[in-house]
Amino acid sequence: MTIIHNDYFALENRGDKVLIQVTQPGFSLKQFDFTLRSYPRIKLTNFATLKTALEQATSEWQEIGLWLPNIEVDIAKDKMSATVTIYETLDAIMQDSEAIQMQIATALATHKVVYGITPIPSEMIVPGKAVLAARGVEPIDGEDAKITYLPKPERKPVIKEDGKADYYDMNFITEIREGSWLGEKVLATDGIAGTNVLGETIPAKKGRDFPIRYDKKSSYEEEQDGKIVIRSKISGILTDDKGMIKVSHHLPIAGDVGVETGNLQFDGSITIRGTVTAGFKVIAKGDISIEGTNGVSGATLIKSLDGDIYIRGGIFGLGKTMIEAGGSIYVKHVNEAHLIAGQEINIGAYALGSTLQAHTITVDERKGKIMGGEAIAKSSITTAISGNHLERRTNLIIDSVNKQEVYAAIQERAKAFKENQQRITELERVLAQLDQLPKLEPKQQQMRDQLKAQHTTLLDTLMKEDFEIKEMMEKVRQTGKEEITVTKKAHPGTYIQIGKKSSLFTKEKKGRFKLEFGELNV
């Protein structure tokens, strides 16, 4: 088809190609460019050939460009939008807008664009410029599961208006009644699917699900208003078991532990309103709270296997009292006793002639004192004063975490974690097969119940292992940050040690002591 024919050249389109035949020289490139403006469908692709043809006028037909469709549709890679480009003059567009609109609709249909089509007013069309013709609807991802637990009061001294810490009010025990609300999970939502311009459904991502961590022996779950609600099976005390909410059995003792009660050993938590008298023992799996204002004097052993210990009035150990907690120990003061905690030892007033061992040791940084004895921590020791004016030897030691040992323990836990994951997967496969049966025989039902119980137990174990691995990883991350802080006065006779580096003070000092470039900054 002939596009242009004049005294100098002829232009034809053959299929989608544009060819030129120059019969007479003298038509400049500038004139040619001006002429092309009236033909938006011509796309010049071979400028060098055009230049040579205009200069030499050989009368040969030569390919110089492409003959574009009058309407071009472009669909985005993600199929979420489509544009049209109209290769017509503005006059043609405005004079025959109705026909142009019909051609746009036909072009979109040819490219199977059927959704989200937007009308394009003629006045918005610019020749050769892409304009949005259709837009899809993005999917809306589902919301993640939301888990809320009954808050466990922070176990630290209540700070009064004057800024002083009140070690007589610790919010240590949270009592729970049978059936009490312990937490809930709002389930993850499916989200809302989207649609692309081709009318294809785009699935939404379902919100992430998270396990609700609770002890199955002391708590149960029920569906309520579309949520999973956790409630207590028993009356007891709110505790935390390696990241899982738990209700421990509670043994309240109205008076003292002594001749009338004998030694106590209990698979739960114990609250003693009085004291533990000289020579007696108290051992509990959960928390131990001793609330008598006179504290403990001469008791042989107070031990919490997995929980915390709170002694409201302090300890007079007489050189024979051992206090041991799997978690933390909170006490007002310590005299001649041995304290061991898996996590923290927090002392309100002073430690005199005692041995303290924990991950972190804190004696009130405003007025607390460690006088004599030794404090051995894995991470940090904080006190206001160490030693005394008589230069009593006081050892402050950071026995930092052994990375190799912790990594070995992490690998061991991770191996057990993976094995339990595989067991759970296998159990779920067998349970799914049983659930597909229309009816279970008695033996099959018994087998299903047993497998379900194993599955629940393994899930609990898995959550505990996950908590322990994260806890150990955090300890590794803290290595290299160990420090001993004496905020007011470290008397001569104070011995500090971090790792293999140590110093015995002969002069009064204060500050934050740590390793810098492998040496103590004393």
Q: How far from the centroid of its chain's Cα atoms is residue 267's Cα? A: 33
| Mean pLDDT, rounded, for 423-427 | 89
Global pTM? Answer: 0.65
The per-residue pLDDT for 404 is 78
Number of H helices, E strands in the chain: 6, 40
Report the alpha-carbon distance of residue 325 to residue 361 in Å, rounded: 13
Q: Are 309 and 330 in contact (CB under 8 A)?
A: yes
* pLDDT over 90 at 137, yes or no: yes
pLDDT tens digits, one per residue of 159-187? 556 656 555 455 677 889 999 999 999 99
pLDDT tens digits, one per residue of 88-112? 888 777 877 888 888 899 999 999 9
What 8-state DSSP symbol labels residue 24? S
The per-residue pLDDT for 174 is 82
Residue, of 406 and 85, whose pLDDT is higher: 85
Q: Are 249 and 228 in contact (CB under 8 A)?
A: no
E strand segments, 119-262: 130-135, 146-149, 158-159, 165-166, 175-176, 181-186, 194-195, 201-202, 219-224, 227-232, 236-241, 244-248, 250-253
The residue extents of the domains of the chain are 2-67, 71-135, 146-244, 411-470
Q: Hey, is 271 helix, strand or coil?
A: strand
pLDDT tens digits, one per residue of 357-398? 999 999 998 899 999 999 999 999 999 999 999 999 999 999
pLDDT tens digits, one per residue of 325-365? 999 999 999 999 999 999 999 999 999 999 999 999 999 98
The per-residue pLDDT for 274 is 93
Report the alpha-carbon distance of residue 132 to residue 126 in Å, rounded: 12
Q: Are 341 and 358 in contact (CB under 8 A)?
A: yes
| Mean pLDDT, rounded, for 43-62 | 89
Residues across the chain: 522
Residue type, 162: D
Cα distances from 389 to residues 32, 372, 496, in angstroms, run 103, 12, 17
| Mean pLDDT, rounded, for 488-493 | 95
The per-residue pLDDT for 443 is 85
Mean per-residue pLDDT of the chain: 89
